[in-house]
């Protein structure tokens, strides 16, 4: 996951040693950085060969042959946009940089297009009543509502499969038979689907206590009414890199106060801020949790995810927040459902 750290070199690095590094690495590139890790340029086999043709001695530093204006991407760029950029510019590797221009990763074409099967189990919470959608869920559970040409839950399943997940549990309650009849054992999608039956409503986390077997790898848990293009590969890598017991995906939420907010010091009015915008991070309904966290979920008892995370924090375990910058929509209300149908063909082609 951190192989890119092995190909970081300084601008004074000799060309000959750069050749050895490139040949020894499957990444086939070297990243030239300054003392702070900021990207200065890249060196590839092609750069070296062009230098040889120009008669540049291999004892010279890479500063005289590196490409100083490399294409880069940001950590929150989507997999689809990165692949499109690579295809358009005929690139096999693209450095990933942060806002300061520091290297934080490397995207490689072969790895992006390759689907590696994961051992992680996915839990899709599909047992809710969907009462805020009114008549839309009278005869159909919310996850089975069609957005575009297929149920919301199928789009979620497809997105997970795209990133190599193959083991699924679907938590069901309201009109469970409709979900089970549609997805069956998952063989239609080439995956394994099992079901967790909630005889009583157990909240957004309680169904985890009904898992028949405790997995050995972190679990991806997701509400079955969320449409998103989040990069699950980056999410799982983030969780592992931070050695988290649990990771919560979060979204930035803006709220504009409709009044002038008065600032007071005791009895004195010291200022007025007209209709300020408040910014918060809110839960996005997507989580990664380690198996040991399941010990905090009593079997058959109602439990919501915020309470589970509070228990994790109170036990002094590591809990992380993964900010989602990709498309995300919670289909909680009728206008959300209408918006999802209007945007689906552009977001999920």
Look up residue 200 and give its two tokens. 């009583």
Neighbours of 53 (CB within 10 A): 8
Q: What is the DSSP letter of 287?
A: E
Q: CA triplet 267, 271, 272: central angle to 5 degrees?
A: 115
Look up residue 132 and give its two tokens. 């805020």
Torsion angle in degrees (nearest 10) through CA of 188, 190, 192, 193: -30
Q: Where are the alpha helices (DSSP H) in 35-108?
A: 45-53, 79-89
Q: Exposed/middle/buried for 267, CB within 10 Å: 0-12, 13-18, 19+?
A: exposed
Residue 251 CA to residue 233 CA, distance in Å, equals 18
Look up residue 323 and give its two tokens. 């900010």
Helices (H) and strands (E) in the chain, counts: 9, 19
* Helix (H) or strand (E) run with residue 177 in it: helix 176-183
Three-class secondary structure of residue 290 per DSSP: coil
Residue that is written with structure tokens 């228990």 in the block:
311
Beta-sheet pairing, 226-228 with 328-330: antiparallel
Residue 164 neighbours by CB under 8 Å, 6+ apart: 115, 116, 117, 118, 233
φ, ψ of residue 199 to 5 degrees: the values are -75, -30
| Residues recognised as catalytic | 275
Cβ–Cβ < 8 Å for 96, 78: no
Residue 139 CA to residue 125 CA, distance in Å, equals 19
């Amino acid at each position: 996951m951190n192989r890119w750290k092995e190909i970081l070199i300084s601008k004074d690095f000799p060309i000959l040693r750069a050749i050895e590094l490139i040949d020894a690495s499957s990444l086939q590139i070297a990243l030239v950085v300054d003392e702070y890790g900021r990207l200065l340029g890249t060196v590839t086999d092609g750069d070296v060969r062009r230098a040889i043709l120009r008669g540049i001695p291999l004892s010279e530093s890479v500063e005289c042959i590196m490409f100083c204006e490399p294409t880069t991407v940001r950590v929150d760029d989507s997999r689809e946009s990165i692949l499109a950029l690579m295809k358009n510019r005929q690139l096999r590797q693209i450095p990933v940089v942060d806002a300061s221009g520091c290297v934080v990763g490397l995207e490689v074409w072969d790895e992006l297009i390759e689907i590696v099967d994961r051992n992680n189990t996915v839990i899709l919470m599909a047992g809710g009543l969907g009462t805020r959608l009114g008549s839309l869920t009278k005869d159909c559970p919310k996850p089975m509502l069609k957005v575009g040409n297929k149920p919301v839950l199928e789009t979620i399943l497809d997105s997970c499969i795209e990133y190599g997940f193959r083991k699924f549990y679907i938590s069901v309650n309201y009109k469970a038979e409709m979900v089970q009849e549609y997805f069956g054992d998952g063989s239609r999608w080439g995956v394994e689907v099992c079901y967790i039956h909630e005889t009583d409503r157990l909240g957004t986390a309680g169904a985890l206590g009904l898992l028949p077997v405790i997995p050995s790898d972190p679990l991806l848990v997701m509400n079955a009414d969320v449409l998103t293009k989040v990069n699950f590969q980056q999410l799982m890598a983030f969780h592992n890199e931070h050695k988290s017991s649990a990771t919560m995906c979060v979204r930035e939420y803006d709220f504009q106060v409709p009044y002038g907010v008065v600032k007071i010091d005791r009895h004195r009015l010291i200022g007025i801020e007209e209709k300020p915008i408040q910014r918060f991070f809110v839960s996005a309904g997507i989580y990664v949790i380690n198996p040991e966290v399941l010990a905090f979920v009593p079997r058959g008892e109602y439990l919501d995810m915020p309470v589970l995370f509070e228990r994790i924090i109170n036990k002094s375990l590591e809990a992380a927040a993964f900010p989602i910058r990709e498309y995300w929509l919670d289909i909680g209300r009728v206008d959300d459902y209408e918006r999802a149908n209007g945007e689906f063909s552009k977001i999920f082609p």
